[in-house]
A and B are shown apart, each in its own frame.
Chain A
Amino acid sequence: MGEPGLRPTREGYADGLLEAGRRDPRVVVLDADVSRSIGSMRFAEAFPGRAFNVGISEQDMMSQAAGLALAGYVPFLSTYGVFVAGRAWDQMRTSVCYMELDVKVGGAHAGVSVGPDGATHQALEDVAITRVLPGMRVLAPADAPQTRAAVLEALRVPGPVYIRFGRNPVPVLHDEDVEVRLGRGDLMRQGSHVSLVAAGVMVAEALKAAESLSRRGVEADVINMVSVKPLDEDLLLSRLRETGCAVVAQDHQAAAGLFGAVAELCARRLPVPLEPVAVEDSFGTSGTPAEVRRRYGLTAEGVEKAALKALERKG
């Protein structure tokens, strides 16, 4: 297999919305002004009567989605993750999760990988503050096809789902017909010495790191944990029993993100050395996506270094 092509995951999100709209007439889409940026305008063009742009008012968008769900529709609403998860969090808590409504939330511009827009637009806490909500499920797909599949999975399962995706082109790792299932991770590569657990843009980096580690004689698992909540506990526990240590990589705060989720599981069930590759209690910064990711160590090299550290701790 040659070098994978590059596509932004936001394109996969918009593809998914279109397909969801074709499959189910109950699907409606809400935007808060940035539909041209996210690509959800393509849904509005295809299904004009089923798309509502409420302007720059995320709180209004979240509760209106709740109202549409109460009237029997399946609303997908989206804007940048910082705002949809942050500003509208109380609405997501009371008007969506507490009522157990069929509302699907799309959080764009995940992580420092956003690049030049800088810290205000780089969602680094969205997974933490969505996954803590009772009833909310969290998907963090790795590439455009998987993001499309995540949208269709959100449509398939009743109840609230948060889908995290990014702005810039990332390697395409899956075929168009890939499926995503809540609670299922994907063991993309199997090793025996260390498990590399990754989500989103860090999956491609973990795959590169595994290649490089292999050249040094270290055989690593790569687990694409697209379902951050519920976690694929069976897969994680079975692999960690064999490898005995792990790296957890996500373009997000280490605290309460995928690292937090895996650490919570391991603290309860299987204490093994875990090393995060994530942002550590800091805001992001401007720069090209590649530069900024390097600054925060969110690279294949960062994953490799963390793997060696985890192996050393395992002893």
Chain B
Amino acid sequence: MEDPGSLRELAVRVRLDVLEMIRAAGSGHPGGSLSLVELLVHLYFRRMSVRPEEPRWEGRDRLILSKGHACPALYSVLARRGYFDPEVLLSLRKLDSPLQGHPDMRKLPGLDASTGSLGQGLSTACGMARGLRLSGTDAHVYCVLGDGELQEGSVWEAAMSGRTAALGGLTAIVDRNGVQLDGRVDELKPLEPLRDKWEAFGWTVLDCDGHDFGSIHKAFEQRGSVSGPAVILARTTKGKGVSFMEDTCLWHGGCPDEEEYARAVSEIRGEEVAHG
């Protein structure tokens, strides 16, 4: 894999953006945004065929962030990829901002769908993949789901469709951070055996360490060699990079105060120093 060093620098940049945006907004979802950073950086900087200067280019690969509340991470990645001026990031959640509290594709070019109500994105992705196949393009559709989101029954309606439609142009990515708003996913409504569930629904199941660019790269490369729908179960840590936000439901939603923010930034910058 080329240049993981610069990807790690990007991941640090995105984490700083996420915290700064949420701090400026006064609210947001830091936990599930920080768990997604490496996956989104990999997708937009190494995997997806896109044209930031032509966001509606028909041949582009698409990404649906079904767990829409993690949009600060996506907004940052899109800005850093060149879709819009990073200055705009600080307008997150403010009146008339294109950066709505949950993604609104009508307000922000570069978003491939509006999301926020959990459990809908995978069906939308199935329909999109069907449509792209029907029109003869080989664009790929990526759909990012939260693991808590898998408690929505509609996800499994979509999972059944993915198989019957034999959608080779569709990859689901599960951000398996193990924590939802009210507590631990496997205490509220357990998902395991999760690999077996997806396999039983006819999907090829791959996994990776969702914070290790090498591991992520390998999983997506493997995906390329299998046909039909595939899901990547990415082991992640909610709140990754900020010790007091890690692996707790208390930072699913919320805004750090001044002291917490300073500490979070210095921890993430420490990461930067360690990798620099």
Contacts and interface: CB of A to CB of B under 8 A. Distances in A.
Question: Do they bind each other?
Answer: yes
A91 B158 CA distance: 13
Interface string A129-172: 00000000000000000000000000000000000000000000
Contacts, number: 111
Contacts of B129: 67
A68 B127 contact: yes
Interface residues of B, number: 33
Interface residues of A, number: 30
Contact of A70 (B117, B131, B160, B161): B131
A210 interface: no
A64 B114 contact: no
Contacts of A70: 62, 112-113, 124, 127-128, 131
B135 interface: yes
Interface in B85-117: 104-106, 112-117
B126 A67 contact: yes
A67 B154 contact: no
Interface in B169-224: none
Given A49-B134, A94-B115, A64 B124 contact: yes
A293 to B, nearest CB: 35
Contacts of B158: 60, 63-64
B160 to A, nearest CB: 7
Contact of B120 (A55, A57, A69, A95): A95
Chain B binding site: helix, strand, loop or mixed by DSSP?
helix
B53 interface: no
A66 interface: yes
Contacts of A64: 123-124, 126-127, 130, 158, 161
A94 B126 contact: no
Contacts of A60: 123, 126, 154, 157-158, 160-161
Interface in B154-171: 154, 157-158, 160-161, 164-165
Nearest to B115: A94
A99 B105 contact: yes
Given A70-B113, A72-B135, A99-B105, A59 B154 contact: yes
A99 B125 CA distance: 14
A31 to B, nearest CB: 13
Contacts of A54: 157, 161
B172 to A, nearest CB: 13
B132 to A, nearest CB: 5
Contacts of A67: 113, 123-131
Contacts of A72: 58, 131, 135
A21 to B, nearest CB: 14
Given A64-B123, A72-B131, A99 B113 contact: yes
A94 B131 contact: no
A67 B133 CA distance: 12
A63 B141 CA distance: 15
A69 B127 CA distance: 8
Contacts of A69: 127, 131
Nearest to A62: B123
The 5 closest A-B pairs by CB, nearest first: A67-B127, A71-B131, A63-B123, A64-B127, A67-B128
Interface of A: 28, 49-50, 52, 54-55, 57, 59-60, 62-73, 75, 90-91, 93-95, 98-100
Given A28-B131, A71-B134, 20 more contacts: A50-B134, A55-B160, A55-B164, A57-B154, A57-B157, A60-B157, A63-B126, A64-B123, A64-B158, A65-B127, A66-B120, A67-B126, A68-B127, A68-B131, A69-B127, A71-B128, A72-B135, A94-B117, A95-B113, A95-B117
24 contacts: A28-B134, A54-B157, A57-B161, A59-B123, A59-B154, A60-B158, A63-B127, A64-B126, A64-B127, A64-B130, A66-B127, A67-B113, A67-B123, A67-B126, A67-B128, A69-B131, A75-B127, A91-B117, A91-B123, A93-B117, A95-B114, A95-B117, A98-B106, A98-B114
